[in-house]
Amino acid sequence: MSPIIYLHGFASGPSSSKARFFRDRLERAGAQVEIPDLAAGDFEHLAITGQLGVLERAAAGRPVALMGSSMGGYLATLYAARHPEVTRLVLLAPAFGFARRWPTSLGPNAVDEWRARGTMDFFHYADNRKRALSYGLLEDAGKYEDFPEFRQPALIFHGALDDVVPVAYSQQFAAAHSNVTLEVLDSGHELLNVLEHMAERVVPFLTSGG
Average pLDDT over residues 100-119: 93
183, 170 Cβ separation under 8 angstroms = no
Alpha helix (H) ranges present in 60-151?
71-82, 98-106, 108-117, 136-141
- Strands lying side by side in the sheet with 33-34: 33-34, 4-7, 65-69, 89-92, 154-159, 180-185
Which residues, other chains included, contact 182 with Cβ-Cβ below 8 Å and sequence gap of 6+? 156, 157, 158, 170, 171, 173, 174
Report residue 209's pLDDT band, with 50, 70 and 90 as the boundaries.
low
What end-to-end distance do the CA atoms of the chain give, in Å?
A: 6
Structure confidence by residue, pLDDT tens digits, 17-55: 999 999 999 999 999 999 999 999 999 999 999 999 999
Q: Are 159 and 186 in contact (CB under 8 A)?
A: yes
Residue 104's pLDDT is 87
Radius of gyration from C-alpha coordinates of the chain: 16
What is the CATH code for 4-98+146-207?
3.40.50.1820
pLDDT (tens digit per residue) in 136-149 = 999 999 999 999 99
User: What is the rounded average pLDDT of the residues 63-81?
Assistant: 98
| Domain extent listing, the chain | 4-98+146-207
On the question of pLDDT at 210 being above 70, the answer is no
* % of the chain with per-residue pLDDT over 70: 99
CB 74 within 8 A of CB 9: no
When pLDDT is cut at 50, 70 and 90, the band that residue 76 belongs to is: very high
Name the band, by pLDDT with cuts 50, 70 and 90, for residue 123.
Answer: very high
3-state SS track over 160-189: CCCCCCCHHHHHHHHHCCCCEEEEEECCCC
**What integer pLDDT is reported at residue 126 of this predicted model?**
86
Q: Is residue 7 within 8 Å of residue 75, measured between CB atoms?
A: yes
Question: Which tens digits make up the pLDDT trace of 176-207?
Answer: 999 999 999 999 999 999 999 999 999 999 99
